[in-house]
Amino acid sequence: MERISFDPLYRLTIKILTRVGVPKRDAATVSDALLRADLEGVESHGICRLPVYVRGIQEKRINPVPRIRVRRLGGVIQVDGDNGLGQVVSRQAVSEAITSARQTGVSVSAVSHSNHNGAASYYCQRAAEEGMVMIAMTNSPSGIPPAGGRKAFLGTNPIAFGFPPTKKRPPLIVDMSSSVVARGKVMLAAKKGLPIPSGWAIDESGERTTDPKAALKGAVLPFGGAKGSALATAIEILSGMLSGAAFGSHVQSMDGGGSSANVGHFFILIHVAHLMDRQEYDRRMDQFIEEMKSVPLIQGATEIFYPGERRYHRYMERKQSGIPISEELCEELARLATHCDVEHDFLQRSHAAGTK
């Protein structure tokens, strides 16, 4: 496992995306979102997704230059992403909602005709920096069965919550899938040829499996049984049905097939300043976190971390030491760069160092 610093990977991603027709500003947005996930240790939503995005663009299943349409009605914003890259569409949807929430206190942005938009936490962090509480949701291709079913129908449908940082602490970020594990982790295990833990997924016949390839043909299980299935259902209705996007089995995978994915997103923003001044927010949030972290520990635990705290520590550590890139991913990125006629000597040097 080689560590590569952020900057060369950031530049490489931008160059590859611009080679396939993505405007530079949009390429920078996608690159930043993917690599932020890698820096935070969420590799399933990081640069490993780049080959899938490029293939989708080249096969004309993703529009590299979308004409995003926005309709505003009070604090409600409807965004038609014109089949653009999910990060690009979500950037505009969140920007519109931030502007609206500053005026009204609360804003909702419902998005249709989008694609995979990476880690939901990325948008929560951006909103948190603007003094906003955010709830971010997205649907996805069928990945988990409804409670009692053995065939995937609902997406693994993540939901994230973001709360602004205080002067003492980074933002509190909750980011979780409706499934036991994000489907991207199963995809990553399949790519690496590694087994998955029992209890993550079932195969096509409804039996539990540790084979990630069988799991991808079957279904990932919802967390908490019927509770996770219910949460995925609610997210599907908000992100898919109410937004005007596809829902359930109608959401297409961006890694194959001939039609656009029509993924939907749903963002809810609350301007903290409409509830209390920032000093009061900081004082109360710091008190809340300090009291939570002072709860007596169970045997074996060394510290209580609030949601997003370890993610932030990992981000700071990897900004200094570099992002771990497996030999397999290094080779895949090198092939992609060659295919797009982009210089990638640093990947070849990293691969050579990793094989010594």
How high is the pLDDT of residue 258?
67
CA distance 322 to 10: 12
pLDDT digits (tens, 9 = 90+) for 317-326: 999 999 999 9
In the chain, where are the structural domains located? Answer: 1-58+319-351, 66-178+224-276, 180-221
Mean pLDDT per segment of 10 residues, for the chain of length 356 residues? 94 98 98 98 95 96 98 97 98 98 98 98 98 98 92 96 97 96 86 92 94 94 95 98 97 80 98 98 98 98 97 97 94 96 82 50
Cβ pair 166, 286 in contact under 8 A: yes
Residue 308's pLDDT is what? Answer: 97
Q: Give the pLDDT of residue 355.
A: 47
DSSP state of 330: H
Burial class (CB in 10 A: 0-12, 13-18, 19+), 348: middle
Q: Can you give the pLDDT at residue 185?
A: 87
- Rounded to whole angstroms, the Cα distance separating 100 from 132 reads 11
CATH number of 180-221: 3.30.60.50
Instruction: Specify the CATH number of the domain 66-178+224-276.
Output: 3.30.1370.60
Q: Tell which residue, 128, 134, 94, 135, has the closest CA to residue 111.
A: 94
pLDDT-above-90 percentage for the chain? 90
pLDDT of residue 320: 96
This prediction's pTM? 0.93
Please give the class, per CATH, of domain 1-58+319-351. Answer: mainly alpha
60-69 contacts at long range (C-beta below 8 A, 24 or more positions apart): 61/254, 61/257, 61/258, 61/259, 61/260, 61/261, 62/115, 62/254, 62/260, 64/17, 64/20, 64/21, 64/22, 64/23, 64/26, 65/21, 65/22, 65/23, 68/92
pLDDT at res. 356:
44
